[in-house]
Amino acid sequence: MEPAAYVAAILSFLFLFSLHRLLGSDRHRKINGKNKEMQRLPPSPPAIPVLGHLHLLGKPIHAALARLAERYGPVFSLRLGSRETVVVSSAAHARECFTEHDVCFANRPRFPSLLLISFGGATLPMCGYGSYWRNLRRVATVQLLSAHRVSCMLPVISVEVRAMARRMFRSAAAAPGGAARVELKRRLFEVSLSALMEVIARTKTSRTEADADTDISPEAQEFMKALDVFIPLLSASNKWDYLPVLRWFDVFGVRSKILAAVTARDAFLRRLIDAERRRLDDDESEKNKSMIGVLLSLQKSEPEVYTDTTIMALCSSMFSGGAETTSTTAEWAMSLLLNHPEALKKAQAEIDACVGPSRLLNADDVPRLGYLQCIISETLRLYPVVPTLIPHESTADCAVGGHHVPAGTMLLVNVYAIHRDPGMWADPAAFRPERFEAGGGAADGLFMMPFGMGRRKCPGEALALRTLGLVLGTLIQCFDWGAVGGAAGVDMAEGVGITLPRDVPLEAMCKPRQGMLRVLQEL
């Protein structure tokens, strides 16, 4: 079809859809007016036909929603295409949603893009609330992410973090002046995915001696490419999900992009699952099974529950959530430290005092490094990984902040705005790790929810925080850091997507610390 024909078809559809909606909504108001009193709905900006309020969703979406909240209040409503949405931007109302109405908001909206990416809505974060979700949640918390399992993962994660430090040291040693220019997101994603591959599938990346010092393995490159497609399209501002005409004609090629990335991701997962299945067939008595091994054992006893699709969906959630959470948060933390060198020096001094220069820090050291924990907490406050959380959907009528919320309404919780609420946080836009010292933050009644809240809270929080501590602590202990070209600071522009990436990947100058040279040389 020619472009002019596309435009004519789209305009015709929009006109007919507008006419239908205007006539239909007028009829709906008349019927409701006869049968019941009008409910008090949340305030809403003026809408336009068909689009509703989609035109107001600028990028990044959390910033656009925060501006609307300043005008319409902490609870307001939007119509995104034909989907009714409520946006919550205060701690009090977020608590209300995930305590009083936790069950009501435990469901997920079924977006077309989400269904394509999540095996038809089969992944733990994206599946509907019910028996399937309860079973997946139980497996994740008891079998895969229990405190014991996380403790068993830490030595594996430590090995991968040391390998990252060794590669960065070699790069710096070979660079002019002993300082290497590194793109941190790729390095951080690599170490996160490598550790997850080891604990999920008992396998390593296919690095060889020839490419041992490259910044990213082929497997990490493959999975990162898929996430680079998925993350922008899973945002609540993705108009493709709200306007059927965009899907019918696929004007922007969204469907083809998703399917290509899904094909690559699924091939990666199938290779891991098939390899682990062959290993288990060779040794059924093995006790220390990988996560995939545990799931395959469950499949033998309950094949109708633990299908290959369910196993792939769980593994996909672990890889996507684990690698993206760690790498994105660590990248933001390093960006903040580059702009606040005094905080970096303070963190290095703490590690030097607690660990010393004779060894690398390990998992047992991390809980004792109070200032490092403050840096992580402050980074998650300023840059929560999923700034509006994964969207929720109400399954029954309820009230939030005194406003009526009908069943089937999508809920967006603007965690980014809550974490920067000037009524709760002093100087909220400033990077101040010290605000969390001596039990500050939660102890002062300040509210954070970087991993969500209620029954749909991320079950991988403990693993993410322990991994972050190891990764960030090692970068701080082993290297001195500076901006590229001696710049005064790092640009903190935010990217777009369901997560909160940097607009431009962070590049920094990395130089081994003099006191750590012997340790790094022995890695």
| Closest CA relative to residue 254, chosen from 57, 80, 113, 60 | 113
d(CA 402, CA 424): 22
- 332 with 494: CB under 8 angstroms? no
d(CA 289, CA 305): 20
Q: In the 8-state DSSP scheme, what is residue 37? A: P
**Tokens 């908001």 belong to which residue?**
105
d(CA 97, CA 115): 25
Question: For residue 172, which amino acid is it?
Answer: A
End-to-end CA distance of the chain: 60
DSSP H or E segment with residue 339: helix 308-339
d(CA 422, CA 60): 20
Phi-psi group of 469: left, alpha or beta (phi > 0 → left; psi -120 to 50 → alpha; rest → beta):
alpha
The b/e string for 258-281 (b: 16+ C-beta within 10 A; e otherwise) is beebbeebeebbeebbeebbebbe
- 122 with 128: CB under 8 angstroms? no
Residue 127 assigned ligand-binding role: no
Positive/negative CA dihedral, 220, 259, 247, 105 = negative
Phi-psi group of 445: left, alpha or beta (phi > 0 → left; psi -120 to 50 → alpha; rest → beta):
left
d(CA 43, CA 404): 11
d(CA 365, CA 358): 14
d(CA 90, CA 95): 9
- 371 with 433: CB under 8 angstroms? yes
Phi-psi group of 427: left, alpha or beta (phi > 0 → left; psi -120 to 50 → alpha; rest → beta):
left
**Tokens 């606040």 belong to which residue?**
340
Residues comprising the binding site?
458
Residues placed in the known binding site for heme: 458
